[in-house]
């Protein structure tokens, strides 16, 4: 017998729990400067899972979650989806390099991907509505700064638990 249980009967529970939590955090009523500094929690979680478990959460799932965000935010349908697909593509493509780095270096590598994701989102906004909110680029920096704590939290959440009935 093994001393460690498998993750759970449903291996997607950490992914599902983290995504639901990230969606709820994104949907909090942010105002003023907090809105400009607000990290994109969904983007952070998508980037984490696309780097660490690309076989479970990849580009297609990022697209689907982006569509959900588009509907919830009343955004142009496909705006978040395209931005999150670009982000997941970067995470899946660069996963081997990112996983070799420490958390601070991972955050530095993740920042351009988060920035590219927002730039795609902003480009669609600019093409459709003729406006681009440069101030929201600060949220990319805030998101990158939260990479370390969020990674530690998600690694703890997804770690197999020791069996309590084995001494």
The whole-number pLDDT of residue 149 equals: 96
* % the chain with pLDDT above 70: 89
CATH topology (fold) of 13-156: Arp2/3 complex 21 kDa subunit ARPC3 (1.10.1760)
Q: Where are the domains of the chain?
A: 13-156
Q: What is the rounded average pLDDT of the residues 21-35?
A: 91
Cα distances (angstroms) measured from residue 126 to each of 18, 31, 116: 31, 22, 15
Alpha-carbon span 26 to 20, nearest angstrom? 10
The whole-number pLDDT of residue 48 equals: 97
Is the pLDDT assigned to residue 162 strictly greater than 90? no
Cα distances (angstroms) measured from residue 147 to each of 28, 31, 47, 73: 20, 23, 10, 24
The whole-number pLDDT of residue 161 equals: 65
Alpha-carbon span 75 to 117, nearest angstrom? 15
The whole-number pLDDT of residue 7 equals: 43
Tokens 């001393």 -> residue = 3
- Across all residues in the chain, what is the average pLDDT? 89
Total residues belonging to the chain = 167
Is the pLDDT assigned to residue 54 strictly greater than 70? yes
Over residues 116-134, the pLDDT tens digits come to 999 999 999 999 999 888 8
Lowest mean pLDDT among 77-91, 92-106, 131-145, 148-162: 148-162
Closest CA to 84 of 65, 103, 110: 65
Contacts of 36 (CB under 8 A, 6+ apart): 135, 136, 138, 139
Confidence at 6, pLDDT banded by 50, 70, 90? very low
Contact 116, 9 (CB under 8 A): no
Is the pLDDT assigned to residue 150 strictly greater than 50? yes
Is the pLDDT assigned to residue 4 strictly greater than 60? no
The first and second tokens of residue 56, run together, are 């479970």
Closest CA to 98 of 151, 159, 160: 151
Contact 61, 70 (CB under 8 A): no
């Amino acid at each position: 017998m093994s001393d460690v249980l498998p993750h759970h009967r449903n291996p997607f529970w950490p992914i599902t729990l983290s995504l639901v939590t990230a969606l709820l955090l994104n949907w909090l009523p942010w105002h003023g400067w907090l809105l400009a500094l607000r990290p994109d929690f969904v983007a952070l979680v998508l980037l984490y899972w696309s780097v660490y478990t690309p076989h479970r959460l990849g580009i297609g799932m990022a697209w689907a979650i982006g569509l959900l965000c588009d509907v919830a935010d009343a955004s142009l349908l496909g705006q978040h989806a395209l931005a999150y697909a670009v982000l997941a593509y970067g995470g899946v493509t660069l996963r081997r390099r990112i996983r070799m780095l420490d958390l601070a270096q991972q955050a530095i590598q993740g920042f351009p991907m988060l920035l590219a994701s927002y730039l795609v989102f902003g480009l669609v906004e600019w093409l459709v509505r003729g406006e681009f909110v440069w101030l929201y680029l600060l949220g990319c920096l805030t998101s990158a700064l939260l990479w370390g704590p969020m990674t530690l939290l998600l690694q703890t959440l997804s770690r197999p638990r020791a069996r309590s009935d084995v001494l």
